[in-house]
Structure 1
Amino acid sequence: MTDNTPQNEMTDQQRSEWVREQFQKANKHLAENGVLFESVVTNESRYLVPYLAVWKIKDTNNAMYWVMSGDLPTDFIADSMATSARGAIKHFAMQWQLKAANLRASESADASSLEYAELLESRAEGLYAIQNQDELWQGV
């Protein structure tokens, strides 16, 4: 990334605040889906501020999840679906492409469903590009 990216325009405090907000967003999404947070596996979690955060989270039943938040829909999967944050991003990209296709194919798809399908597709394409950039994952 060049020095002109939004990430480099943010102060350390702003980056920390963004990460904190994304953690809260991820934790809220889990709670809304019946998953109660216990801890974060920080050495496996990854952040691409201000776009994307991928958290590896352990719940109160010792189950593990990959949770994604940021400038995209918040979502989560069991950690058995991917062995790394990069793999989780790839999984979300493929899953969202399928969800978008299913929404578009639905006979009951209304304007908001089609708009959501478009959002999923655009974010899925971005996610796939991110996970496909080896330079972002060197040393990880």
Structure 2
Amino acid sequence: MAEQPENQPISDEERATWVREQFQKANKFLAENGVLFDSVITEESRYLMPYLAVWKIKAMDSKRYWVISGDLPSDYTSVDNAKDAKEALRHFAMHWQLKAENLINAKDADKTQKEFGALLINRAENLFAMQNTPDLWV
């Protein structure tokens, strides 16, 4: 049996492709929710490839939002709810925990809703752990 190759470093091209795909995913999600993108505030946006990207964006109506995309549900919130990307992760984690609890405990919740609730709980716990990992925020 052949050994697995060592983890190869991610190339600049792979990183750029992933970032572009996550940006497109975030922008599409915003458009589907009636938020039209104007510009991204790159200095305050963060990404942890291949898990998540947190974008601070300015919409066409001059409102500003945090939007998250990656290996998790896309979501967005006003910048009034979080001062920086780290706090945005905390906000999404808490919001998803509450949403998951409501989904799972709903009287008429079907299997799909309960599974999505479980996914939200898992991703919320991961976000909270990332938010509390100092090495990620240096």
Q: What do you get for the CA RMSD once the two structures are aligned?
A: 1.1
TM alignment of 1:1-140, pairs within 5 A: 9-138=9-138
- Unmatched tracts of structure 1, length 5 or more: none
SS of 1:16's equivalent in the other structure is helix
TM-score normalised per structure 1? 0.92
1:94-117 CA deviation, whole Å, 9 max, x = no partner?
Answer: 000000000111001000000000
1:72-115 CA deviation, whole Å, 9 max, x = no partner?
Answer: 00000001000000000000000000000001110010000000
**Who is 2:3 aligned against?**
none
SS of 2:43's equivalent in the other structure is coil
Which of structures 1 and 2 has the bigger CA Rg?
2
SS of 2:127's equivalent in the other structure is helix
**Deviation of the 1:10 alpha carbon:** 2.1
Q: What is the rounded CA distance, in whole Å, between the counterparts of 1:106 and 1:118 in structure 2? A: 13
- For these two proteins, the number of residue pairs brought into alignment is 133
| Identity between Structure 1 and Structure 2 (%) | 56
TM-score normalised per structure 2? 0.94
**Deviation of the 1:17 alpha carbon:** 0.3
- Unmatched tracts of structure 2, length 5 or more: 1-5
2:135 maps to a residue whose letter is E
**Deviation of the 1:9 alpha carbon:** 3.3
